[in-house]
Structure 1
């Protein structure tokens, strides 16, 4: 028993340092004894020692996050929540926090419906033990699960609840996460100025707390916003800054995502070999950590890289893998991207019937979920495909794409839409006239 308490106390002592500027120092100190700490945690559960376990929970969760051990993290938090719910009041408090962390890991694993169930369970427990922090974070992870499933309005509703709880208890941590999630939703839906503002506020919160791990997460998102605005230089700078932080703190989960995102920038700059290296590194990390969402995104980009180099068969194989994974996850944003990419691969292979069906499926998702960037790209692709067989519909599609491209302020999209409009015989300066009216 003394050894169990000792190892759990060691974990608990690193809770704050793991959320600071140098979490890698704590990881280095914890790593030699991590097996003993795992055993101590199991012993604490068996002995119903919520008073020993609760102080160690945050540190254990962060260890799993940084090491990319989402599967183990989810299993440990599930077991703790299931066991401790039937204990005394201190056990209920432990189960509450464990349920919150379980929802976090489930989102990482792409288990978004189960994540919502865990968040709902956490909210019921939080109400029983008056834990406003857990209430706020449960709404954050519930909101994330919702937007990953394309339910953006519902996600905002949950995030509003989270912000209310955060302000009531003056939690900079929850405020940072709310702004981060709202920024992602705005980015997905093409509201880039609002997205930039939200994510910048998240970065400000993390700097105030001195949390290098969460700062790197939001810097990555800032890079994505800049990329979607067409500013590749700024995008690369933010992502490389985030990657340096991740390498310093050895955050393997986020490293995988950053390799994926840096590959997108490299591809758009014509550096296909550099993009391929980024993607191979990222895919290996994502597979090892069980990051299914990351795998789907990387297969999408491996296919895109192959497509741009003229390897159409290989591109289609990668895009089929991306579509299969995103359908399993129920991630509609990634699904729409995979359908768009697979449509372009099939079009290059001469399978225009399958390409048209995929374009239309992707367009339906993009319009329903208000994915403006995806809708613009799909409309452009489908207009190109229909230019000869149905020029009237092609003109309608390209007019819609041009309008969205202007609203997004993306110069590449605007130029593509204008080029196709000229080829179709529609006024090339229509969007300029609309803008100046």
Structure 2
């Protein structure tokens, strides 16, 4: 069928003059009609990116509540395609227009997730704390868990441990995927605190829970941590077996962050076994996925791990290229400036996770 006829201005300046000469009431009416037309056409449902256009027209029409709803849809779509900066801007617009909306806590939490990927850790923690304050106890365990993970990214092991303990208290005794994930991350924290006995106990508890409830997400995380622990104990066969289980579970789910973790840790174990070619492939696969996700801190760590591997294999030019990328990204993460008390050396030491 022929395309619907449409009309436009021949020059942007002409559009601006006519728009500015139109009364506010008339402009709002036109924006409302434009939004209604887009909604009727199903544009927001067919392509989530169009939700931002609907939101803009609704905001210009003075309908802040509905505009906020469509900005939220636009943010969710942007997040689903890893357009993290756009998602942040849409969520911020939704919160600015309707700060008291019923989904405000969810938006603050999503904002924290995206800021974490950008390495803006202080801002991420503020977003999570705000979500907890708005939401009360509904998602307190999950938020304490996420706050603990942000502390871990900064090498603040004791603070992370305290957050994980608070998450465990808030979560209760129910056998849930969230509890299994928590125990796995808590295990890695204990490992960083050089408490191998507690790390092993927590990892085994995470695995028991994951297997009991049949959850691939927590299975991927538990076996990933068990692989890390085994490698650090020199048991490379067990490490590779556990990490392969983790990678397989993550792939079944399409869980990209879990795949990145398993691939990185498999690379480290494979290098320890003497197979640098396979280790390099694992790291390059992990980096490609991490670039897609937009997790800057882990991108830097993967570049650094590749630099170490290539340097050891005598590929100095390639190693230096990856090292330069790692340094550039690391320098942009966490508190700034580096020469002040905000300097966080632990951020630069990330190797496995």
Q: State if a TM-score over 0.5 links the two structures.
A: yes
Q: Is the 8 A contact 2:175 2:209 kept in 1?
A: no
Match of 1:412 among 336, 346, 350: 346
Q: Which residue of the partner structure matches residue 170 of structure 2? A: 245
Deviation at 1:148, TM superposition (A): 7.3
Of residues 84, 92, 107, the one that matches 1:178 is 107
Is residue 180–residue 222 contact of structure 2 (8 Å, CA) maintained in 1? no
* Equivalence for 2:318: 393
Does the CA contact (< 8 Å) of 2:148 and 2:159 recur in 1? Answer: yes
Alignment of 1:101-112 (within 5 A): none
1:152 aligned residue (57, 81, 84): 84
In 1, the alpha carbon distance for the partners of 2:201 and 2:244 equals: 21
Q: Over residues 144-174 of structure 1, what are the superposed CA-to-partner deviations in whole Å (9 max), with x where a residue is unaligned?
A: x97577453565477468647854xx33x41
2:249 matches 1:325? yes
Where do 1:272-421 residues align within 5 Å?
A: 272-387=196-311, 388-409=313-334, 410-414=344-348
Q: How does 1:87-106 map to 2 (within 5 A)?
A: none
Supply the distance in 2 between the matched residues of 1:150 and 1:255 (Cα, whole angstroms): 27
Matches of 1:151 and 1:325 in 2, distance apart? 25
CA displacement at 1:403 relative to structure 2: 2.7
Kept after mapping to 2: 8 A contact 1:213/1:246:
no
Distance 2:122 2:194 in 1: 27
- Give me the whole-angstrom Cα distance separating, in 2, the residues matched to 1:362 and 1:382: 11
| Contact persistence 2:243–2:266 (CA under 8 A) | yes
Instruction: Tell me what 2:139 maps to.
Output: 214
Change (3 A) 1:340 1:148: farther
8 Å contact kept, 2:183–2:206: yes
Q: Give the superposition deviation at 1:286.
A: 2.4
By how many angstroms is 1:408 displaced? 2.1
Question: What is the DSSP-based 3-state SS (H/G/I as helix, E as strand, rest coil) of the residue aligned with 1:389?
Answer: coil
Secondary structure of the residue aligned to 1:408 is coil
CA contact (8 A) 1:226 1:232 kept: yes
TM-score (norm 1): 0.57
What is the distance in 1 between the residues matched to 2:108 and 2:142? 12
**Residue pair 1:286, 1:295 contacting (<8 A) in 2 also:** yes
Q: Is the 8 A contact 1:382 1:397 kept in 2?
A: yes
Q: Output the CA distance in 2 between the equivalents of 1:137 and 1:270.
A: 48
Query: Secondary structure at 2:172's aligned position in 1?
Result: helix
Q: Classify 1:253/1:326 alpha carbon distance in 2 versus 1 (closer, same or farther; 3 Å).
A: closer
Q: CA deviation at 1:201?
A: 0.6
SS at the partner of 1:190?
Answer: coil
SS in 1 for 2:314: coil
What is the distance in 2 between the residues matched to 1:295 and 1:148? 23
Distance verdict in 2 for CA 1:415–1:218, change over 3 Å: closer
For the residue of structure 2 that corresponds to 1:374, the secondary structure is helix
Q: Which residue of 2 aligns with 1:264?
A: 188
Following the alignment from structure 2 to structure 1, what is the Cα–Cα distance between the partners of residues 179 and 210? 9
Say whether the 8 Å CA contact 2:154–2:346 is kept in structure 1. no
**Residue-pair matches, total:** 279
* Structure 2: gaps (5+ residues): 1-44, 52-64, 335-343
Cα RMSD after superposing both structures: 3.2
Paired with 1:360 and 1:159, the residues of 2 have a C-alpha distance of 32
Question: Structure 1 residues 323, 139: closer, same or farther in 2, change over 3 A?
Answer: farther
Secondary structure of 2:332's aligned partner: helix
Given that 1:303 and 1:316 are in contact with CA atoms closer than 8 Å, whether structure 2 keeps it comes out as yes
Distance 1:289 1:406 in 2: 41
